[in-house]
A and B are shown apart, each in its own frame.
Chain A
């Protein structure tokens, strides 16, 4: 692996790869942890929603059907995004999906409403995923690269 990695220098590439893997690991852990915790539900989080969209979030929390859907999408969304980022499969879309989720968490309960600064972990992780989306690594290390090869082999 002595070549320059795509358009990146080696340090740039490995840092970007590490960012993708770390965020993927976090998503996978959060998702699997919720999956194995039968009593987990987003209800508490949704009910605390305090910003402009809180009506919507509270509506979801108060409807058993919507809540079940929201819990299901949360758990499996997190698991699939985590897996995709780690193995480098459709990483770009996973990063977009993850960023959307984090943005939802952020607007549901933005820290500045409570008088804290506007920066919190959700915001930072959101930006991390934007970087993962813009500076891709999965075509070098990841299933995306392998699939690209398969495709170009077929075409060629």
Chain B
């Protein structure tokens, strides 16, 4: 070393071994890096490969790329019921109110992330080539708004509509009598669904009906008969069949990755006035618009008991059993549809419901705390449903198999069960960690920001708003309406056709009946009646 230093001094300008050493001193780090990286990669690969082989998952991660959409001839539609939900469905069909669009556009320009996402999602919609030619609503304000949307709204391609042929009908029968109309969207309160659907199919119109399909059991049989006899294309508004996450969930169940599923548990949890259907007041506590002069109250009441005009009932009808089946029809119906899609269980053998009005005492029939147990002894499993309108903690939607459990909402996660016979060896040798999901979809989870409204956040968490297809955020309402229009044009089956709608509705009716009659109800498969 001493000699080296001496050499250094003697030849400052000559390159010597020491200079080279100093010049390259850090290059061995690259070797360490390579080893480090290789080790991590192979370990991850090994884990992944072992898992994938074990799970038979190779095709699960393949992304669906949408081909260019090519609509056919224009489908002319009428819409009956143009309140909040009707407006959503108009948007799903490609009609957005100019004011709302401009507002959203302005917010998006001002870097509101939620507005940007919504705007982009609207622009991602396909142009499905439908024309709204008829509008029917008992409330002038809502009818006029819908006419404005259908005449001057904005389409997903960003262009204005400029269509002068939209007609308002005071009565839905008059709308149905228009031979020009091919198909109708029914988005009225639930108690009008049945007679409107029956009249529509009798008039030969294809029907998109919001859930719940009917108010009563008898109506359920009548609607089913009428639709089946008619041959029209029917779609019930359970749009979550269009969520990619639910499709993945079905694949996972079909591949038997969960083992034997004996228990599924689902819940709906809300904690807001609007979420509890107290909706007649605006955010400042003032009454929302509407009066006996602007709302055809008699027509709205239909066959229900004649009572004086009530804005509270007009906006919050779901709270009373005269108009709705309460939580059964409003929220449970989506849950049972999601579960039925994934598991294909059909109709339960028996149902027991219970609950009460423990929190929202302002006047209602709908319970705010509600439980239902659905038994499927032939399929050897039980479905539990639990609802709260006084706490919005997300309790998930969980499938319990003896090998793994699966949580399904806006995201999907599968966890191997610690005591699973099938995954035991993988758990022991560290390939599977029961506390980490073995399957996750989408891999980058749908992000819900802190500023979304409570109800919107609720729907997003339940997988009821958006889905991501090939990296594009899509409104699942749009996909559901589009499927209906596509089937009208090209034939095929809708995702929630009358058979599925019937199964879902039987469950809804059983859940509701059990609560109202405070007893266990059963399905008689021979008589095809609830007993």
Give the interface of A toward B (CB within 8 A). Answer: 17, 21, 24-25, 28-29, 32-33, 36, 43-44, 48, 50-52, 54, 58, 83, 86-88, 113-115, 140-143, 145-147, 149-150, 152-153, 156
Contacts and interface: CB of A to CB of B under 8 A. Distances in A.
Interface in B6-46: 13-15, 19-20, 22-27, 29-30, 33, 36-37, 41
Nearest to A61: B471
B111 A145 contact: no
A88 to B, nearest CB: 6
B interface bracket (residues with beta carbon within 8 Å of A):
20 to 34
22 contacts: A21-B26, A25-B33, A29-B36, A36-B41, A44-B444, A54-B111, A83-B30, A86-B27, A86-B33, A87-B27, A115-B450, A140-B22, A141-B23, A142-B22, A142-B25, A142-B26, A146-B20, A146-B24, A149-B13, A149-B15, A153-B13, A153-B14
**Would you call the interface of chain A mostly helix, strand, loop, or mixed?**
helix
A107 to B, nearest CB: 12
Contact of A141 (B22, B37, B111, B450): B22
A141 B20 CA distance: 10
A156 B41 contact: no
B111 A86 contact: no
Contacts of A32: 37
Given A29-B36, A86-B27, A146-B22, 7 more contacts: A24-B29, A28-B33, A51-B111, A87-B30, A88-B26, A142-B25, A146-B24
Given A87-B24, A87-B27, A149-B19, A48 B447 contact: yes
Interface in B97-147: 111, 113, 116
Given A21-B29, A50-B111, A153-B13, A143 B37 contact: no
Contacts of B447: 48
A156 B13 contact: yes
B19 A145 contact: yes
Contacts of B41: 36
B1 to A, nearest CB: 10
Nearest to B37: A32
Contact of B111 (A44, A52, A153): A52
A58 B120 CA distance: 10
A86 B471 contact: no
A145 B30 CA distance: 18
A29 B37 contact: yes
Per CB-CB distance, the 4 closest pairs between chain A and chain B, nearest first, are: A146-B23, A156-B13, A149-B15, A141-B25
Q: Which one of B26, B30, B33, B113 has the greatest number of beta carbons of chain A within 10 Å?
A: B26
A57 to B, nearest CB: 11
A51 B471 CA distance: 22
Contacts of A145: 19, 22-23
B303 to A, nearest CB: 50
A150 B25 contact: no
Contacts of A51: 111
Nearest to B109: A55
B5 to A, nearest CB: 8
Q: Which one of B15, B447, B450 has the greatest number of beta carbons of chain A within 10 Å?
A: B15
